[in-house]
């Protein structure tokens, strides 16, 4: 009988790869449907109607289907405004996902993605003054940023080091949002980014209160 723990390995959880694969598949289908050869752009518009986050639904708009005002808090994270938008979000998600897998495991990574997407939608609905739809996984991605910053601060404090570096990273994210907001003429869901970041940091604080709290994988028993 082998009861040793297998050392943590920095790898992507299948659940994270499944999320990325689903987002990539959907956007690929929509992108191909938008080409002149297919001329089926109604597919993307229909997906937006059913799956995007519509602030108006929180203010009395009629739902397209029962429960839409609840499902949109998560469904918006799987839809994107274009292939580059999707690819940018997914690459960042994969980059940040390795540490999340080590600290949280597969179930924790899924929980982080879902709650950060919901948190991003909630803050967007609370702070946005626009009725325009919001879509994209950036709220969830910023949840991974929030968790990563928390873990960095946690590790530095445990070793008696300065937390200046993670603070600078956070300020850099703020500056990046301001620049992008200006470049796209205000069409940036910074509220979702803020909500996702706070949700991810809070989740990391609750689930991993000390550096020693991390996902463990047992080796097989014979």
Give catalytic residues, as residue numbers: 138, 193
Q: H helices within the chain, ranges in order?
A: 14-33, 42-51, 68-75, 83-127, 138-158, 164-183, 190-207
Cα 152 to Cα 169: distance, rounded to the nearest angstrom: 10
Q: Are 13 and 20 in contact (CB under 8 A)?
A: no
| β-strand pairing of 5-6 with 217-218 | antiparallel
Residues 6+ apart with CB under 8 A from 29: 43
Residue 186 and residue 178: Cα distance in Å, rounded? 9
Closest to 166 in 3D by CA, of 184, 147, 186: 147
Tokens at 124, concatenated: 């967007």
Find where tokens 């659940």 sit: 15
């Amino acid at each position: 009988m082998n009861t040793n723990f297998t050392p943590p390995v920095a790898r992507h959880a299948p659940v994270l790869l499944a999320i990325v694969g689903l987002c990539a598949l959907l956007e690929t289908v929509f992108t191909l449907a938008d080409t002149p050869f297919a001329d089926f752009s109604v597919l993307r518009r229909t997906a937006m109607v059913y799956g995007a986050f519509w602030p108006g639904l929180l203010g009395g708009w009629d739902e397209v289907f029962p429960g839409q005002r609840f499902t949109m808090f998560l469904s918006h994270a799987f839809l994107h405004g274009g292939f580059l938008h999707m690819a940018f979000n997914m690459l960042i998600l994969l980059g940040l996902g390795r540490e999340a897998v080590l600290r949280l495991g597969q179930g924790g990574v899924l929980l982080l993605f879902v709650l950060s997407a919901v948190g991003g939608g909630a803050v967007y609905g609370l702070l946005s003054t626009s009725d325009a739809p919001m879509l994209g996984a950036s709220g969830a991605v910023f949840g991974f940023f929030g968790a990563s910053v928390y873990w960095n601060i946690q590790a530095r404090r445990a070793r008696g080091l300065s937390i200046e570096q993670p603070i600078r990273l956070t300020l850099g994210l703020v500056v990046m949002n301001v620049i992008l907001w200006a470049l796209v003429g205000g069409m940036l869901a910074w509220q979702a980014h803020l909500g996702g970041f706070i949700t991810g940091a809070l989740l990391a604080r609750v689930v991993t209160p000390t550096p020693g709290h991390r996902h463990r994988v047992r080796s097989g028993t014979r």
